[in-house]
Structure 1
Amino acid sequence: MQSLSQWRDRAEMLTPPFPWDRPRWRDRGGETVVLLHGLWRGWRAMQPLARALEAEGYSTLNIPYPSARLPIGTLANHVRSHIEKVANDRPVNFITHSLGGILARAILSEDPSFQTGKVIMLAPPHGGSEIVDWSKNHPLLSLALGPAGRSLGTDGAPSTLPFLPEGTEAAVIMGNRCSIPLFKGLLGEQNDGIVSAERGRIAGLSGFTVIDADHTFIQMHPETIRLSLQFLKDGTWPA
């Protein structure tokens, strides 16, 4: 049974983005963690993680971006500009959800001016998503995806981006709970309803784990939070 606080977190995470949303910077004195939400979401989708990080002394930069309006390259430049405003001599870590992981790859592929720390990607479509392939055959759904979303097909932008820079400590957490039965037949055996688990892999990872979570709420899963905090602390990942 979900607790009252968990229901509160879920409601907060589903709050749609607003045009007046701005990046939320919370300086707690520790290393910076940049939080990047996924398609159609807003900064509130990453707040359960942000609160857990801040409680451990990490500074957080939770960046909203117009995910359904602009292409990946433009979104990456938008996000990078906000990171550079707060970057200092402390490492800049990333925790991303879905499309946010692709943006992190785009940002880090262009020799960022800041010191890169660790990268944790939740449900990233590194190999694209069959759901996007299917949606592109339906005009209204394709329109709703926007230019960045439409590029996340199995032959799209993720396959053309460089891998993470050599030496980057990165890990991926995928989900295997499909809460959208309509899509289950379009995806691999293990999937979160949007992305097949195996399509989250990318070369050079320090860790890869599949947990019992769906795509929408994987950010608030206790195992996601535990693994993320442990990896940020000492770079270890369960075998």
Structure 2
Amino acid sequence: MKNIKNYILKIVFLLSVTININAGILTHEFRTEEFGNIEKTDKDIVILMHGIYSKLDNLEYIEKKLEENGYSGVNIQYPTTKDEIQDIAKKYIEPEIEKKIKILNEINKKRVSENKKKLKINFIVHSMGSVVLRYQLQENTFEELGKVVFLSPPSHGSSMAGNFFTELLSPYLGKAIKQINVQKDSFVNHLKEPDYNCYVMVGNRANNPLYSVITDGESDGAVPVKSAKLENCKFKIIDGESHSSILKSDKVMQEILKYFKE
């Protein structure tokens, strides 16, 4: 009986994904949205990056709370179905980081002349955005790097990315999703562990029964809790939050703001 139920749920999952594909919901073009006043900031600049099939609106709550607390930065929306992770980083993320480094260097010149502490660039990234950023920081280090927050990261892969359905729909789901499967030889499992200041937060509520069917063990509905952990990164389970609700959690924002002030 349980196997039949799981089979039915998998079929429903396949149909729901197909509907989303046909509706164009999984495809978003590149654009950026700045928040706060970077030119006059007195706090570290923050770069926001969403996860697969998402858009910058998904990080709107975090963006708003950061601005309310005096932070400024940029929210990056990038296509997730067109390229591999390496190309996503090169095309969309690296240029934005370089722009902010250039602005930050000018700000820090003035701050040094005023005997003030230099500012840094912090990151808050969600889901697959963590894999894109880890690759980018592995290939391109910069001294202005501050703190990194990984929300719901598939640090060692997600069962959502390595199953029959993703293989069947790969022409539509894109190349990147296949790079974050749980297999030991996958792209994500060949990335180096972070050697910078970082904080991993992941929920433990799988509120979507369709996702839960293909995700093993305790998870946030898309990423197994055990798969989110990274060496050298602070780690916290956000009780009661799912893969998506973690982006609108007051508990998470409190943790982020506290972390940035440490």
TM-score band, normalised by shorter chain: 0.7 to 0.9
Aligned-pair CA distance for 1:169: 1.4
**Correspondent of 1:106 among 119, 123, 135:** 135
Following the alignment from structure 1 to structure 2, what is the Cα–Cα distance between the partners of residues 136 and 44? Answer: 27
SS in structure 1 at match of 2:220: coil
What percent of counterpart residues are identical?
25
Q: Which residue of 1 aligns with 2:16?
A: none
**Correspondent of 1:116 among 145, 152, 171:** 145
Aligned-pair CA distance for 1:50: 0.5
Following the alignment from structure 1 to structure 2, what is the Cα–Cα distance between the partners of residues 101 and 170? Answer: 11
Q: Which residue of 2 aligns with 1:3?
A: none
Q: Which residue of 2 aligns with 1:171?
A: 199
**Correspondent of 1:158 among 188, 192, 197:** 188
- Cα 1:16–1:225 shift into 2, 3 Å: farther
Matched letter for residue 260 of structure 2: L
Structure 1 gap segments, 5+ residues each: 1-14, 235-239
- Cα 1:117–1:135 shift into 2, 3 Å: farther
Aligned-pair CA distance for 1:105: 0.6
> After the TM superposition, which of the residue ranges 207-216 and 100-109 deviates more from structure 2?
207-216
Aligned-pair CA distance for 1:176: 1.1
1:125 pairs with 2:139: no
User: Greater helix percent: which structure?
Assistant: 2
Tell me the TM-score normalized by structure 2.
Answer: 0.77
Following the alignment from structure 2 to structure 1, what is the Cα–Cα distance between the partners of residues 166 and 219? Answer: 21
Structure 1 runs (4+) deviating above 3 angstroms are: 15-19, 135-138
Aligned-pair CA distance for 1:135: 4.3
1:134 pairs with 2:163: yes
**Correspondent of 1:39 among 30, 33, 52:** 52
- Cα 1:55–1:163 shift into 2, 3 Å: same
Structure 2 gap segments, 5+ residues each: 1-24, 109-118
Following the alignment from structure 2 to structure 1, what is the Cα–Cα distance between the partners of residues 164 and 150? Answer: 24
SS in structure 2 at match of 1:23: strand
- Cα 1:45–1:16 shift into 2, 3 Å: farther
Q: Which residue of 2 aligns with 1:207?
A: 235
Map residues 22-101 of structure 1 onto 2, 5 A cutoff.
Answer: 22-26=31-35, 27-28=37-38, 29=41, 30-77=43-90, 78-87=92-101, 88=104, 89=108, 90-101=119-130
Following the alignment from structure 1 to structure 2, what is the Cα–Cα distance between the partners of residues 229 and 76? Answer: 26
SS in structure 1 at match of 2:175: helix
SS in structure 1 at match of 2:180: coil
Following the alignment from structure 2 to structure 1, what is the Cα–Cα distance between the partners of residues 68 and 82? Answer: 33
Matched letter for residue 124 of structure 1: P
Matched letter for residue 127 of structure 2: S
Following the alignment from structure 1 to structure 2, what is the Cα–Cα distance between the partners of residues 72 and 18? Answer: 15
Partner deviation per Cα, 1:106-160 (whole Å, 9 max, x = no partner) = 11112334511111111000110112111456412x2332111111101221101
**Equivalent residues of 2:222, 2:243 under 8 A apart:** yes
1:195 pairs with 2:223: yes
Matched letter for residue 100 of structure 1: G
**Equivalent residues of 1:124, 1:172 under 8 A apart:** yes
Which structure: larger Rg?
A: 2
Aligned-pair CA distance for 1:193: 1.1
RMSD: 1.9
Following the alignment from structure 1 to structure 2, what is the Cα–Cα distance between the partners of residues 173 and 230? Answer: 13
- Cα 1:221–1:139 shift into 2, 3 Å: same
Following the alignment from structure 1 to structure 2, what is the Cα–Cα distance between the partners of residues 161 and 121? Answer: 15
**Equivalent residues of 1:98, 1:124 under 8 A apart:** yes
